[in-house]
Structure 1
Amino acid sequence: MTQPARSDMNRILIIGGTGSIGRLVAARLLQLGRLPRVLTRDPDRAQRPLPSGVEVVAGELADPTAVRGAVDGVDAVVMTHGAPYGSGNYAAVDYGAVPAVLDALDEHRVPIVLMSSIGVTASGGQSRELLEWKRRGERLLRVTGLPYTIVRPGWFDAGSSSHQQVDLRQGDLTEYGPVRRDHVAETIVQALLTESARGRTVEVFSANGPTITDWPGAFLAAEPDRPGDLDGARDRPGPRPEAEPERVRADLRRHSHTPLTPDI
């Protein structure tokens, strides 16, 4: 038997809410009667692309006081953030947002949906640095013991608008495909509101076929991540913790729900 969507989740913080996916997530949450909140360094500019009804709070991820204020009173967190490609700010933004939010939440246990990327387990390529930092953010979130879902979108804007089916996969295999941005946003929203999405890492693509009408069943069909494991359920093994940068090791020590092996 599948579970109904959560009805007790109203105020939801969106980190990266002014980006293309974050805006769609905010609009969809409003449509469902939820109260999205967006943290941004420029509230006046943010109001223009965001739909009316979205709460906008001022602050930057690098400011712990601002992030603590942004998470205050929220029932869940969605993270659709990302540094501009080629900026080199991946450690500070793509990874850095994860420990910033975890630090701000402290002992407050709320569901988190993190948008990552396909290809994070690949060993090379032009985007290697970006993908490595995204994977580190994923791995940190997995060991916290928090109720999380990690969503890895396929290639943006590479498919056809005729693709109506949201295609969920796992394992970060090389058979990557396109995805519609609205399909990514819908997967994130449904992951947030669906209990069977907890503790899972899924890739999302767009394909020919019928639309998903049973989201709880779709997530339940995905293999759950092993509790406390750094990697996703079907992922290729990642680097050992002691091989990570000291900053990452420190975050793992601070936020891990259970002791890591080996001790780092």
Structure 2
Amino acid sequence: MIAVIGATGNVGRPLVASLVARGTRPRILTRDPARARRAPGAEAVIGDLDTPGCADELLAGADAAFVVTAGPDAAAHDRVIAAAVARHGVRQVVKVTSVAALPPVQDAYGATHAAAETAYLATGAHCTFLRPAAFMSNTLQWHWSVTGSSTVHQPFGDLPQAVVDPADVAEVARRVLDTPRLGGRAYTLTGPESLTPRQRAHRLAATLGRPLTFVDAPPEQARRAMTDTGLPPAYVDALLTSQSHRDPIRGGLPLPTVHDLTGRPPGTFTAWLAGHVEVFR
């Protein structure tokens, strides 16, 4: 049995659908029973990782676990999950981390992901770490300003990233879960081309058929916007520092990894936009 943590997110959702389509009945964790009903064929554990015993209920009897954690509570959640993986003898773990975890780690955000990888390795499970570049789905954060004022506000507007389709990360995860010999290592996952936020906004404007104004927001403005939503300042500072790194190996350089593991080219940003354009209308 495969347990999926992060089953209703941008990576977990297509992974669960793919597993079910292939005759596997994964066990998923979700806070919302309504979301569980959107994953027919999956067994649902209702709760969250802050609930005592929830990780044990999810992982008891599991042969493998797929894990996505995010946000300022990710480090604490990874410690809870790793402890339950060890208690229940889960043999295989596929964990989504970040290119920020590539050694040498250069910031606090990367250190958090690297610490998570270390925690899972300490369980004795056969661990695979998927380190994506920035997700194409991060573009959805532009929804409000695009629909409200035809404007995109984004820091580091001329910093290229080989953004990756979450569906490709899900497909890589499924291949590793199906074929354990592919695991036991870390993979950097990228899309097929390196694009700056400004270039992505231009692509979005072309897809919408109307002009958009791109504003290269100062990091201080981005920081204020994120902390105003309630995110802890230390977490925001670490995230922005990580996003500012210009070393191409940290997500700026397109790699063949998705093709090598799935046998097909990674999805393009233009194709991703075509599938999500209605969000921005």
1:16 aligns with 2:6: yes
Structure number with higher helix proportion:
2
Aligned-pair CA distance for 1:66? 1.4
Corresponding residue number in structure 1 for 2:177: 192
1:98 aligned residue (78, 89, 99)? 78
Aligned-pair CA distance for 1:53? 1.5
With 95-104 and 74-83 compared, the bigger mean Cα shift is at 95-104
1:120 aligns with 2:101: yes
**CA displacement, residues 66-100 of structure 1 (integer Å, 9 cap, x when unaligned):** 111111222210002212xxxxx2xx3x2222221
Contact 2:190 2:257 in 1 (8 A): no
Matched residues in 2 for 1:134 and 1:54: separation? 28
Matched residues in 2 for 1:36 and 1:184: separation? 17
1:157 aligns with 2:147: no
SS at match of 2:118: helix
Contact 1:118 1:176 in 2 (8 A): no
- Identify if the C-alpha distance between structure 1 residues 37 and 158 changes in structure 2 by more than 3 Å, giving closer, same or farther: closer
Aligned-pair CA distance for 1:176? 5.2
1:133 aligns with 2:112: yes
- Identify if the C-alpha distance between structure 1 residues 23 and 210 changes in structure 2 by more than 3 Å, giving closer, same or farther: closer
Corresponding residue number in structure 1 for 2:62: 74
**CA displacement, residues 189-226 of structure 1 (integer Å, 9 cap, x when unaligned):** 1111212223201111122889847659xxxxxxxxxx
- Identify if the C-alpha distance between structure 1 residues 135 and 54 changes in structure 2 by more than 3 Å, giving closer, same or farther: same
- Identify if the C-alpha distance between structure 1 residues 141 and 51 changes in structure 2 by more than 3 Å, giving closer, same or farther: same
Aligned-partner residue type, residue 139 of structure 1: T
Contact 1:113 1:192 in 2 (8 A): yes
Matched residues in 2 for 1:144 and 1:101: separation? 10
Residue segments in structure 2 that go unaligned for 5+ positions in a row: 139-158, 194-255, 264-281
Matched residues in 2 for 1:149 and 1:100: separation? 18
Matched residues in 1 for 2:33 and 2:262: separation? 34
Matched residues in 1 for 2:257 and 2:58: separation? 38
Aligned length: 179
Corresponding residue number in structure 1 for 2:167: 182
1:30 aligns with 2:10: no
Matched residues in 1 for 2:137 and 2:95: separation? 22
Contact 2:60 2:88 in 1 (8 A): no
Task: Give RMSD over aligned pairs.
Answer: 2.9
Matched residues in 2 for 1:201 and 1:191: separation? 11
Moved over 6 A (4+): 208-211
Matched residues in 1 for 2:29 and 2:8: separation? 9
Aligned-pair CA distance for 1:130? 3.2
Contact 1:64 1:100 in 2 (8 A): no
Corresponding residue number in structure 1 for 2:240: none
**CA displacement, residues 16-68 of structure 1 (integer Å, 9 cap, x when unaligned):** 11111110110111111111111122223x236x3322222112212231111
Aligned-partner residue type, residue 10 of structure 2: S
Aligned-pair CA distance for 1:150? 0.4
Residue segments in structure 1 that go unaligned for 5+ positions in a row: 1-10, 84-88, 160-173, 217-264
User: What TM-score, normalized by structure 1, do the two folds share?
Assistant: 0.60
- Identify if the C-alpha distance between structure 1 residues 59 and 157 changes in structure 2 by more than 3 Å, giving closer, same or farther: same
Matched residues in 1 for 2:5 and 2:111: separation? 20
User: What TM-score, normalized by structure 2, do the two folds share?
Assistant: 0.56
